């Protein structure tokens, strides 16, 4: 029985050593423009989902989905997120497809993750994906506004939808400090090279 256990443990150690060497010696293809292998597909996203679920604090969204909060969240989303995740005028972006993992195209597939998990991802980002952590750029209340907007993206009130259409085409003309006003999206877009 001891010989069996020693053999089994030796085999496990060898498999782990081979996997470590495979990764450490550069055999994993790092290109974002090729399809990932089947093992990576089966392991990577479920691992990310499980990690976020484990780490995201259990908390309720303090922001109600009022027109004002949805407009505020939309403006932040349009200025900072739509360049990768799409908007109402550009529901699917080739730029978002150039990331690995691919940037979710939220207009085509609205987020269905619990709000506390969306908040956590927006706040802290996702390593090795291009998704930055916004906690140093946005206030907590602004992150909650974006979270609220994402949670309601597929059922926006007509007024918010109308303003978003204007924002997405960059034809607005007022100050962005007031959630009820419109600022040209092209003037507020962040330099993507900073991420």
> To which H or E segment does residue 9 belong?
helix 2-24
- CA gap 190, 195 in Å, rounded: 9
| Domain locations along the chain | 68-194
pLDDT tens for residues 67-98?
Answer: 999 999 999 999 999 999 999 999 999 999 99
Per-residue pLDDT at 180 exceeds 80: no
Q: Give me the pLDDT at residue 9, please.
A: 95
Mean pLDDT computed over every residue of the chain: 87
Q: Give me the pLDDT at residue 39, please.
A: 82
**Range in 60-64, 105-109, 188-192 the model is least confident about:** 188-192
CATH number among 1.10.760, 1.10.405, 1.10.238, 1.10.15, domain 68-194: 1.10.760
pLDDT level of residue 35 (50, 70, 90 thresholds): confident
pTM for the predicted model, two decimal places: 0.78
Average confidence (pLDDT) over 128-143: 96
Query: What DSSP character marks residue 101?
Result: S
pLDDT level of residue 194 (50, 70, 90 thresholds): very low
Q: Give me the pLDDT at residue 171, please.
A: 65
Residue-wise burial string across 36-50, b where 16 or more C-beta atoms lie within 10 A, e elsewhere = beeeeeeebeeeeee
């Amino acid at each position: 029985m001891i010989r069996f256990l020693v053999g089994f443990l030796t085999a496990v150690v060898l498999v782990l050593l081979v996997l470590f060497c495979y990764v450490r010696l550069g055999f994993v293809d790092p290109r974002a423009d090729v399809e990932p292998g089947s093992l990576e597909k089966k392991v990577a996203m479920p691992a990310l989902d499980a990690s976020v679920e484990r780490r995201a604090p259990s908390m309720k969204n303090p922001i109600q989905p009022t027109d004002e909060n949805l407009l505020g969240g939309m403006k932040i989303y349009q200025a900072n997120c739509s360049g990768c995740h799409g908007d109402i005028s550009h529901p699917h972006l080739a730029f978002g497809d150039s990331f690995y993992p691919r940037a979710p195209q939220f207009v085509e597939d609205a987020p269905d993750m619990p709000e506390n998990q969306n908040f956590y991802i927006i706040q802290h980002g996702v390593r090795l994906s291009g998704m930055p952590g916004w906690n140093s750029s946005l206030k907590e209340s602004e992150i909650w506004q974006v979270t609220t907007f994402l949670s309601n993206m597929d059922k926006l009130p007509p007024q918010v939808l109308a303003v978003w259409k204007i924002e997405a085409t960059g034809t607005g003309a007022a100050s962005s400090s007031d959630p009820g006003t419109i600022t040209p999206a092209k003037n507020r877009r962040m330099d993507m090279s900073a991420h």
